[in-house]
Structure 1
Amino acid sequence: MDDGSAVLAAALMVDAAYDHAARGWPVFVLGDGKTPLPNCTRCRTADGTHDMETCVCLTCHGFYAATTDADRLAAVICAHPTGVLAVRTGAASGTVVVDVDPRSGGAATLAELLAAGLLPPTLTARTGSGGVHLYYAHPGGTIRSGAGALGPGVDVKADKGYVVVPPSRIGERAYVWADGGPDSVPVTTMPVALLDRLTTLPPAPRLTPPAASNPFAAPVDASGRLAGIVAAVLAARPGERNTVLNWGAYTASEMVRTGAANVEGVTGALADAATRIGLTDREAHATIRSGLRAGGVA
């Protein structure tokens, strides 16, 4: 790409970011290939008092850097003109996005969901991989993000999640709006049946009670719930690992607050899972501390 093309591409990115922000959608920038931009040295080496939600850095901590501020958006796009635009989903933007990936069985699952009346027509984007993003209005409360949350190949991007948005490109593959985009197609209210599906949790697997000598032992009555959270962390995909880990710590904070688990047990179990999926010990513990603090655990 020559200099003129690069300038034009950056200008189009800025315009698109402004449009998304004007809808109340916090925007941030990913690196080429949808990978989060690296944290700065200060954030990378920060201790547990560092709050990702209030960090003032332009690009650190993935979706925590999302903003609707025009000056910040222009600055980050000028600094990363070949980046990928993404929007923070969930209550932050008022959106829940159903992400259909036909490469993972999403076409068959989509057909089943449509037949069941769970996915009424709404604002839709076609993804760079040949899938679709269906945007629904966030109903309030907390809607969890999750891989395969609606079946094989159909993920949900809601609280603690994000989606790539048009007109982003991954290589030669572009994200585009279907049927005119948000200027002509509304974001549909989520049907009650879909909301029920997303807020009904499957039974969590039971963990074998840990040995008494294990310093990270959680009480047996909390083991099943903690096992489900750990399983979600272990299933996190590259680019979502910190997000899922933060969600896991936030979710587990309720068990700590109610006395169903101890903070050492939760921290140890989540840190072990995080390092098994490739996070550093420092990064894992910082993310866990942040999630626990957000859940009211000092």
Structure 2
Amino acid sequence: MATINRQATTLALAHALSAAERGLAVIPLSRTKLPALRSPHRDDPTATPCHGECGRFGHGVYDASIEPRRIRELFAAAPWATGYGIACGLEPHHLIGIDLDTKTGTDSSAALRELALRHLFTIPETVVIMTPSGGRHLWLSGPPDVVVPNSAGRLAPGIDIRGAGGYLVGPGSRTEHGVYSTAPGTAHLAPARCPRALLRLLQPPPRAHHPTPSSAGQHGQGLVQFVLAAHEGQRNTRLFWAACRAYENGLTPALVAPLVDAAVHTGLTEREARATIASAARMTGHCP
């Protein structure tokens, strides 16, 4: 049974409410940095995909809210929470987190500087969160029509990306290893706009592949199956990746309807699915 630290929970709630005032949707976290509320469907293998439509708590970032009353209800349901998570990819900031880790033994900050020099961008002045292990989280704001997926080490060793379906541990959160804090001089800042060159790097890498007519059908069906296999928190990301591959390989528009149907089957609405596919079209230089 989780140990309840009333003072830590009260402080976490206060910090979460403060973040919500800035337009950042939040959820309670446990000391392990995981969502404090477990899925209400975890013991039902036949449960259909749910993003909170059931009305109960325990759907991860889909519970995230900026409404003070709902946030208080979330924390009341998780009195063992000692921190809070900030959902990425949501309005109004469409937050993207650049997680510069120190656990890999590599200099992730130097790796980011090298990427910036190579691809001709600079990291603007923005919110910086210090982690208990000595790492840093840089907060950036993305455009509303671009879905940035989560990734670990794809840009460079020690650099993880928190995008749509992910969350960042908020400053003031207490974990097993210490407290997250805002770097001096950055608390008053809003998340800065993500440089366009960096945004391109954050998208799934394109594959230069031109299928033959005989292989196109199999490849298209594989993309549909890839979307159908999505779990909670992966649906938008998998659909976006599959749609990008479809546009790059000349499989659209015939594949749009099957991809939409697959996404709806996993729990997305048709409107969400079509918006994600349109974003993939724009990112790959096609007209939605």
TM superposition score normalised by structure 2: 0.71
| Maintained 8 Å contact 1:246/1:288 | no
Determine if the alignment matches structure 1 residue 14 to structure 2 residue 5.
no
Aligned to 1:85: 84
Secondary structure class of the residue paired with 2:156:
coil
Against the structure 1 CA distance between its residues 262 and 114, is the aligned structure 2 distance closer, same or farther, given a 3 Å change threshold? closer
Letter in 2 for 1:68: I
Against the structure 1 CA distance between its residues 110 and 81, is the aligned structure 2 distance closer, same or farther, given a 3 Å change threshold? farther
Structure 1, gaps ≥5 residues long: 234-240, 268-285
More helix by share: 1
Determine if the alignment matches structure 1 residue 74 to structure 2 residue 64.
no
Paired residues in the alignment total: 256
Distance in 2 (CA, whole Å) between partners of 1:220 and 1:41 is 34
Letter in 1 for 2:112: L
- Identity across matched positions, percent: 25
Select the residue among 261, 273, 279 that pairs with 1:295: 273
Select the residue among 242, 255, 259 that pairs with 1:260: 255
Cα deviation for residue 41 of structure 1 reads: 4.2
Cα deviation for residue 191 of structure 1 reads: 2.0
| Maintained 8 Å contact 1:125/1:132 | yes
Distance in 1 (CA, whole Å) between partners of 2:28 and 2:264 is 20
Which whole-Å deviations, capped at 9, do the CAs of 1:230-252 have from their partners, x for residues lacking one? Answer: 8x97xxxxxxx631255314654
Distance in 2 (CA, whole Å) between partners of 1:196 and 1:205 is 16
**What are the equivalent positions in structure 2 for 1:1-298 lying under 5 Å apart?**
6-36=5-35, 37-41=37-41, 44=44, 47-48=47-48, 51-52=50-51, 54-58=53-57, 60-83=58-81, 84-94=83-93, 95-104=95-104, 105=106, 106-115=108-117, 116-147=120-151, 148-182=153-187, 184-199=188-203, 201-204=204-207, 219-222=217-220, 242-245=232-235, 247-249=237-239, 251-252=241-242, 258-260=253-255, 289-291=266-268, 293=270, 294-295=272-273
Secondary structure class of the residue paired with 1:10:
helix
Cα deviation for residue 197 of structure 1 reads: 2.5
Distance in 2 (CA, whole Å) between partners of 1:262 and 1:190 is 32
Distance in 1 (CA, whole Å) between partners of 2:195 and 2:109 is 21
Secondary structure class of the residue paired with 1:63:
helix
Against the structure 1 CA distance between its residues 290 and 9, is the aligned structure 2 distance closer, same or farther, given a 3 Å change threshold? same
Letter in 2 for 1:111: R
Against the structure 1 CA distance between its residues 296 and 186, is the aligned structure 2 distance closer, same or farther, given a 3 Å change threshold? closer
Cα deviation for residue 101 of structure 1 reads: 1.2
Distance in 2 (CA, whole Å) between partners of 1:107 and 1:181 is 17
CA RMSD of aligned residues (A): 4.0
| Maintained 8 Å contact 2:8/2:174 | no
Letter in 2 for 1:27: V
Distance in 2 (CA, whole Å) between partners of 1:205 and 1:34 is 38
| Maintained 8 Å contact 1:86/1:162 | yes
Distance in 2 (CA, whole Å) between partners of 1:203 and 1:296 is 20
Against the structure 1 CA distance between its residues 44 and 174, is the aligned structure 2 distance closer, same or farther, given a 3 Å change threshold? farther
| Maintained 8 Å contact 2:264/2:273 | no
Which whole-Å deviations, capped at 9, do the CAs of 1:166-206 have from their partners, x for residues lacking one? Answer: 11122132111001443x2332222222223334x423497
Secondary structure class of the residue paired with 1:103:
coil
Letter in 2 for 1:142: V
Aligned to 2:286: none
Distance in 2 (CA, whole Å) between partners of 1:73 and 1:162 is 16
TM superposition score normalised by structure 1: 0.69
